[in-house]
Amino acid sequence: MRITVRHWLLLIWGFCNGVYATEIQTGGNSTRPDAVNIGAIFAFDSIIGRVAKVGIELALEDLNSSPDVLPGTQLKISMLDSNYSGFLGIVEVIKFMEAETVAIIGPQSSVIAHVVCQIANELQVPLLSFAATDPSLSSLSYPFFVRTTQNDLFQMAAIADMISYFGWREVIAVYTDDDYGRNGIAALGDKLSEKRCKISYKAAMSSELSRQDIMNALVKVALTESRILVLHTYNNYGLDILDVANYLGMMGSGYVWIATNWLTDIIDTDSPLPSGELDNIQGLITLRMYTPDSQLKRNFVSRWRKMASKEKDHGSFGLNTYALYAYDTVWLLARALDAYFNHGGNISFSKDSRLSELRRGNLHLDAMSIFDGGPRLLQNILQTNMTGLTGSIQFDSDKNLVHPAYEIINVIGTGYRRIGYWSNFSGLKVQPPETFYSTPGNISRSNPQLYSVIWPGQTTERPQGWVFPNRGRYLRIGVPNRVSYREVISYSPSTDSFSGYCIDVFTAAVNLLPYAVPYKLIPFGDGRNNPSIAQLIEALAAGDFDASIGDIAITTNRTRMADFTQPFIESGLVVVAPVRTLKSNAWSFLTPFTPMMWCVTAGFFLIVGAVVWILEHRLNDEFRGPPRKQITTVLWFSFSTMFFAHRENTVSTLGRLVLIIWLFVVLIINSSYTASLTSLLTVQQLSSPIKGIESLMTSNDPIGYQQGSFARNYLIEELNIHESRLIPLNSADEYENALIKGPNNGGVAAVVDERAYMELFLSTRCEFTIVGQEFTKNGWGFAFPRDSPLAVDMSTVILQLSENGDLQRIYDKWLTSSACSSQGSKLEVYRLELKSFVGLFLLCGSACLLALLLYFILLVRQFMHQCPEEETEPSSSSSQSSQLRRLRTFLSFANEKEEESKRRSKRRQMEKESNKSTSYGGLSVNDSEGGSHET
């Protein structure tokens, strides 16, 4: 191949215009064609189609006049009208395939896209849809489908976040029954489940329904509980549904309507709307695909009116977001084609062998060809990174546009107000999403924010979201038909009525609800034995009842089958056993202290006495004398400090320090002893062989429990008590008889039941009492089916009853009656143990040791000063006797009174000085005589 000057010029020109790769073919022809055929298919007469047509034309005008993208190549777009018909859409796509089209912009409808994608996959022609938002089109089954607008999956995520933000749990979905509607609502259900919410009712509607059919469907919706409705349909059909809803009174106070972005398309395109249509959408919440503000977008808007006014067939219309996405789709495809050509791609088609076999008939399907460069062009499309009218245009791994975001619109009056934004990056916020992209560390999805909403009915108070359905029937409520503890629940068969504590609490709570709840109480049980509460909850879960009220303990297993309200009474399991009265005896005064406490206290009396004697012996005459007298003095001084009656005075500093600390210890011990003894002698003391649940677990005695209570399963499953030891009891009288008989006479050692029952039982039976601690913590609540909104509302009003005191008044009316509560009695004799006074004894002992250590150091120093060791030559024979003599001298010094040792030391010092003086005088005389003689 010979490269001519013309080839070099083309190569340089390509680099200057941003072309990074060029392939030169033999014969001097460039790979770039003069024109590229693109198809576009949408409904010209639709709201989306009208704006999309103008947007595509503007994009084509700008593109073909730009030297930066596709230089030397003209983009030709053939637009065909699908006229809302899936069949016509398929036929027109086939026409594009016959004309060697490299890509198709569209289709507009998700329903048509599902069919057309099969053709695109076969012929490898990319489909770029600016309006097909069905989430299922992103699946791997449609590799050649590229969505250049937002996926409805994100719109449904925004709605789910709003539902959770406002505290609702159930919604009703009203939607068009086709691929677009069904798949969108399926995505909504998935997103709601992530928020622990759900779709309670689905109202599917065909676009062919008459007004009467719409009315019949909405009447069924009105009979349901939820008042939160999500309307997901087409813009030419949604207003008809809202008109019927307004006629049925479903646009008033209490209702919440959330419309998907079809409503903002109408508002943006056809404003101002007629007054009748405005009345039908007052208070609605809707969404609009968010496109950030930019200079490029402002320039486009300024050109819009002039271009849209040329559309004589449809008259003047406004700009909605689909026009922006259609404009960006053309530019996206052009840039992808530009990259395709830069990397050596060319336009070539090949025949499909399977279509060639279908030449029979007049369809001429063999005229369609496979685009050889389709996969490579698709890859260029998905790798494009550009900024358009709608913001940043990039695709993630799921072929969705990055940074999906929506504006949340509240329709009010003749216009609307923006109450916030949603994006998958920041969640619900009142600031635009792009303000958070640059500071990801400062954003938290856990703190959603929205401005206030004006709801249907012109109210700013958040709707409750549901009402009790008016279906002409009562709420069936199961109530245990108890045979014991009728203060809790009592059923009268003659009048078919209930009374008792639980009934009064339920009635008071229902009366506080902001809506009427017609109900009927239905007895559960045979009236001869207490019914099983577990079976009552199972019947509720099976749908036999709409709710269950009564003495229903909230346990883990039961919460798996039903939802419970806030507990209206606390009640855990306790052990009740017989008790006997402890009588006083001659040695009751020793009871306050344990034997160990008595021994240690007596020992410290002696130790402190001995320490004080050691510290005072050399200074204080009262601690001196014959050995018998000194022992008597120590004992008297030690024990007299118990009553602060010691007569001996302490004169040493260390002795006084030890005595002060010891007197403080004695004060605490005396006070504790006096208080404990007073309590023992004035309060009746009770005793029981059963100390609590622990002693029951270690024994083999039979245990009683209330029939139908959860106590049986708890004792077996949690505490591993054998089933043969458990005896069911039905009434308080059976409790009493079984406890009186005892385990050896066919009775029980103790009864395990809930505290609320046991307090009623003990109120008139003082020979029994609760032993040990309460070993479970639970309460009674009302049960409702799972995810019932009535459970939440009932919990709220039960808290109100607690706060305003009504709950306590109901409790006092039914459950406060105690004949034994005035008796001051104690079940256990509490004896003061050594561990309660360890700190005091350690303090006193430490003071004694420190005082003795200091005293010994001072005594040794004094001894060394007053009795210095005599200077003698050491010898092995006399060393042992010298040490013994020194020890005897030290002991004699320690036993000697300090004044006498000082006088003796002083006398010894004077004698030593006198001897030195005499020796010095003798030496002087001799020396003088010797000197004279020499002289």
pLDDT at position 621 over 70: no
pLDDT score at 585:
61
pLDDT score at 901:
64
pLDDT score at 794:
93
pLDDT score at 828:
52
3-state secondary structure of 578: strand
Q: What is the mean pLDDT of residues 27-44?
A: 77
Residues 6+ apart with CB under 8 A from 443: 425, 426, 436
pLDDT score at 99:
74
pLDDT score at 315:
60
Q: Which residue has the tokens 């990397």?
A: 343
pLDDT band at residue 11, thresholds of 50, 70 and 90? very low
3-state secondary structure of 258: strand
Q: Which residue has the higher pLDDT, 629 or 531?
A: 531
Choose the weakest-confidence range: 278-292, 790-804, 889-903.
889-903
pLDDT score at 634:
74
The mean predicted confidence, pLDDT, of the chain is 82
pLDDT score at 773:
85
Q: Which residue has the higher pLDDT, 523 or 224?
A: 523
Cα dihedral sign for 146, 148, 152, 158?
positive
pLDDT band at residue 501, thresholds of 50, 70 and 90? very high
Pairing between β-strand 127-129 and β-strand 684-687 as defined by DSSP bridges: unpaired
Q: What is the mean pLDDT of residues 566-577?
A: 91
Closest by Cα among 716, 612, 611, 681 to 826: 681
pLDDT score at 141:
85
Structure tokens, 167: 């505290």
pLDDT score at 4:
40
pLDDT band at residue 893, thresholds of 50, 70 and 90? low
Query: pLDDT tens for residues 707-761?
Result: 988 899 999 998 999 999 999 998 899 999 999 999 989 999 999 999 989 988 9
pLDDT score at 689:
73
Q: What is the mean pLDDT of residues 663-669?
A: 83
Q: If 0-12 CB within 10 Å is exposed, 13-18 middle and 19+ buried, where does residue 292 land?
A: middle
pLDDT score at 821:
45
Query: pLDDT tens for residues 379-426?
Result: 999 999 999 999 999 999 999 999 999 999 999 988 899 999 999 988
pLDDT at position 495 over 80: yes
Query: pLDDT tens for residues 676-711?
Result: 777 666 554 555 678 888 889 888 999 999 998 889
pLDDT band at residue 668, thresholds of 50, 70 and 90? confident
pLDDT score at 736:
92
pLDDT at position 246 over 90: yes
Distance CA 486, CA 159 (A): 49
Question: How many of the other CB atoms lie within 10 Å of CB of 68?
Answer: 11
Residues 6+ apart with CB under 8 A from 718: none
Query: pLDDT tens for residues 556-565?
Result: 999 999 999 9
Choose the weakest-confidence range: 59-68, 454-463, 887-896.
887-896
pLDDT score at 582:
54
Choose the weakest-confidence range: 484-498, 638-652, 838-852, 869-883.
869-883
Q: If 0-12 CB within 10 Å is exposed, 13-18 middle and 19+ buried, where does residue 615 land?
A: buried
pLDDT score at 384:
93
Note whether 334 and 286 are within 8 A (CB). Answer: no
Note whether 817 and 763 are within 8 A (CB). Answer: yes
**% of the chain beyond a pLDDT of 70:** 80
pLDDT band at residue 932, thresholds of 50, 70 and 90? very low
Query: pLDDT tens for residues 106-149?
Result: 898 898 898 888 888 888 999 999 999 999 998 788 999 999 99
pLDDT score at 569:
93
Q: Where are the alpha helices (DSSP H) in 248-289?
A: 262-270, 275-280
pLDDT score at 394:
94
Peptide bond into 578 cis (omega under 30): no
Beta-strand (E) ranges in 49-190?
Answer: 74-81, 103-105, 127-129, 145-147, 170-176
**Strands of 684-687's sheet, edge to edge?**
580-582, 684-687, 825-826
pLDDT score at 22:
35
pLDDT score at 861:
75
pLDDT score at 469:
66
